[in-house]
Structure 1
Amino acid sequence: MKYSKLAIKILEYEGKEIYYDPVYHGRTLKVFGIDDDPTRVIDYIGDQFLEKEYGLIFFDTRGKYPKEKFDTIIEMEDNKPTGLDPIKMVKKGLLKDFYTASTIIQTIYGLDRSLTDKLYADILGGKVKSVADAAKSKEQYGEVIREVYTSLDETFFEGEVPKLGKSILVDFGKTYSISTVGMAFLILAAAVKDRRSTLIGIDDAAVLFYTTPGSAAIPLLTQPMRGRVTVLGSRYVAENLLNIPGPTLVLYNDPDLQSMIYEANGVPQGDMRKHVLKGEGAFVWRTTQTLEVDFGKLPFEG
């Protein structure tokens, strides 16, 4: 169904066009497939939303997306300064307030509520002006942070705070530390979570959601919000992704994995569970009363 101006064609079947409409189907679309298939679908969807004058914010774990679509490119590497210090980002207006910065540090380093409140008070009082200051502090929160704080962390928070334009590509293709990936993902998710007229692409979502900080970013980017669409792409059929509300696009994959996706979406056994072949897709979506599955071919070559 083409319900709103945000509807885009995602499948074709016997002359019929099948649309994904975020307003009607749900604002978080999950895409499961193998190899580069999820990437190609997200890239295609991104092009459609660029035509609608939406900004694009893509988190790319594999370094696969073309860079010319973006006005801000953040290339992440291990042991490379990023400037993503949440305390400094508040001062630059990229994060809402110092309590947000405190809770990000809490999530990354496992502070309890009382230590987080103490850290927040010290930030407000000017005693702590950066994550490095917090790690060096003689307060108890400093001791807790230092238990897991490494030279990679120290370097990560150094550097100038980046400028974030309308369209942002965060390239994790050269990053091997999953901790670094998780920290960057959470911090940037907090920075862009309130943006409207924006398509957020997350690929590979299972990788980015793997760590505790990464998991904390899930509700920030998937909570329904007018003017925002989120597409989660993955090569892993992970339970935490399957449980996120929203429609699902099933691409070519092993039969047992396709079956797991159908099962998680409540699709009954039988003809509705069509085996998706290469170049095809099954679009699984719900209304308040029904479950629907639309089959077809992808609307692009390859």
Structure 2
Amino acid sequence: MKYSRIAVRLFEREGQDVFYDPVYHGRTLKVFGMDEWPGKALQYFVGKYWEIGYGTVVFDTTGTFREEGFDTVIKVKDGEGTGLDPLALASKGILDGYTAATIVQTIYGLDRTLTERLYADFLSGKVKSVPEAAKSENKYSEVIQESYTPLDEAFYRGNAPEFGKNILVNLGETYSVSLAGMAFLIMGAVIRTRRNVMVGVNDAAVLAYTEIGSAAVPLITKPLRRRVAILATQYALESVMNLAGPSLLLYHDPDTQSVVYETNGVPPGPMRKYVHKGQAAFIYRTPETIDVEWGRWLSNPPGSLPAPP
């Protein structure tokens, strides 16, 4: 089989290698594994896509991803600023105004009428940031204030980051799942049209668990030419498993492995094998059937990544 230039080798087997090819298999790859395995897999894919000149955007909820090679590192800490204010970003032309208003709508539960009013106030220059919107005398301020906290206030502070080619969003130092979801959604909107990029998430289930975080998933998994999304997770969350695209099953407990197989439509019997440490199963659909490839997983990341593009 002929593979595209953005295919990545998964297994090294005698006589035949197994590749994940986004062009053939689907633009979103879901990786399931326990303990450190999802992070190892994501580190591996980052290195491989750097080798072919791709940019990378990584969301890391564990706080263990290496910063080496990333030209932008955004750290989300409780009580500290990130500069990720959607309205302020729109003022700088990084987001469009309506997208920024809908982000505020998603985070604070505005209805359509209040969202339109916020957008109109942004266009007229009356409101230039989320804190200003929260303190305004308009009706949308009352709704925002119902869930607006000092953590939110601090989160929006600061200058906008320089969104480079390779971005690491470190979410491992916040205890607030709401702040993590906000950063995920806002950054997902910032990068939603990028191409020649691999977007990686670990842990995808943690970020997709809330309504705010789940709103970001379509932004980063939208099929685009020259774009790849890798969603790595320890948890078999239905909203992640049901996304279109192949799955890479790494070592996990038997129940989770069984759920992953069943969700992907793999019938019981010879097509299912228990995946041991250092092994993996690559599950993908073809026009005729479901295929499962087994082998030794290549990812035992070296001490240092290749140089970024």
> 2 CA distance for matches of 1:243 and 1:300?
25
> 2 CA distance for matches of 1:255 and 1:210?
23
- 5+ residue gaps, structure 2, are 302-309
Q: Secondary structure at the match of 1:295?
A: strand
Who is 2:187 aligned against?
188
Equivalent pairs, count: 301
Q: Deviations over 1:255-285 (max 9, x none)?
A: 1110000000000010101111100000000
Is 1:240 aligned to 2:268, yes or no? no
**Structure-2 change in CA distance of 1:152 and 1:113 (3 Å):** same
Q: Deviations over 1:84-103 (max 9, x none)?
A: 111110122221x1111100
Tell me, yes or no, if the aligned pair for 2:91 and 2:128 is still in contact at 8 Å: no
> 2 CA distance for matches of 1:189 and 1:175?
18
Who is 1:111 aligned against?
110
For 1:82, give the aligned amino acid.
T
Tell me, yes or no, if the aligned pair for 1:4 and 1:23 is still in contact at 8 Å: yes
- Alpha-carbon shift at residue 2 of structure 1 (Å): 4.4
Is 1:34 aligned to 2:24, yes or no? no
Tell me, yes or no, if the aligned pair for 1:284 and 1:291 is still in contact at 8 Å: yes
Tell me, yes or no, if the aligned pair for 2:180 and 2:207 is still in contact at 8 Å: yes
Q: Secondary structure at the match of 1:292?
A: strand
For 2:46, give the aligned amino acid.
G
Q: Secondary structure at the match of 2:18?
A: strand
Q: Deviations over 1:189-225 (max 9, x none)?
A: 1000110100000000011111111110011011111
For 2:12, give the aligned amino acid.
E
| Percent identity for Structure 1 against Structure 2 | 54
> 2 CA distance for matches of 1:299 and 1:214?
30
Who is 1:144 aligned against?
143
> 2 CA distance for matches of 1:17 and 1:65?
28
For 1:147, give the aligned amino acid.
E
> 2 CA distance for matches of 1:15 and 1:78?
51
> 1 CA distance for matches of 2:37 and 2:192?
26
Aligned pairs (5 A) from 1:1-150: 1-95=1-95, 97-150=96-149
Across the aligned residues of Structure 1 and Structure 2, the Cα RMSD in angstroms comes to: 1.1
> 1 CA distance for matches of 2:54 and 2:300?
24
> 2 CA distance for matches of 1:130 and 1:300?
43
Who is 2:258 aligned against?
259
Q: Secondary structure at the match of 1:67?
A: coil
- Alpha-carbon shift at residue 75 of structure 1 (Å): 1.1
- Alpha-carbon shift at residue 15 of structure 1 (Å): 3.9
Who is 2:172 aligned against?
173
Tell me, yes or no, if the aligned pair for 1:201 and 1:233 is still in contact at 8 Å: yes
Who is 1:225 aligned against?
224
Who is 1:268 aligned against?
267
TM-score of the superposed pair, with normalisation by structure 2:
0.95
Q: Deviations over 1:169-206 (max 9, x none)?
A: 00011111111101111001100011010000000001
Q: Which moved more, 1:246-255 or 1:9-18?
A: 9-18
Flag as ranges the 4+ runs of structure 1 deviating above 4 A: none
Tell me, yes or no, if the aligned pair for 2:4 and 2:23 is still in contact at 8 Å: yes
Q: Secondary structure at the match of 1:200?
A: strand
- Alpha-carbon shift at residue 11 of structure 1 (Å): 1.2
For 1:159, give the aligned amino acid.
G
> 2 CA distance for matches of 1:282 and 1:138?
56
TM-score of the superposed pair, with normalisation by structure 1:
0.97
Q: Secondary structure at the match of 1:230?
A: strand
Tell me, yes or no, if the aligned pair for 2:101 and 2:118 is still in contact at 8 Å: yes
For 2:227, give the aligned amino acid.
R
**Structure-2 change in CA distance of 1:47 and 1:2 (3 Å):** farther
Q: Which moved more, 1:1-10 or 1:194-203?
A: 1-10
- 5+ residue gaps, structure 1, are none
Who is 2:283 aligned against?
284
> 1 CA distance for matches of 2:70 and 2:128?
31
Q: Deviations over 1:144-189 (max 9, x none)?
A: 0000001111111111111100000000111111111011110011
For 1:85, give the aligned amino acid.
D
Who is 1:296 aligned against?
295
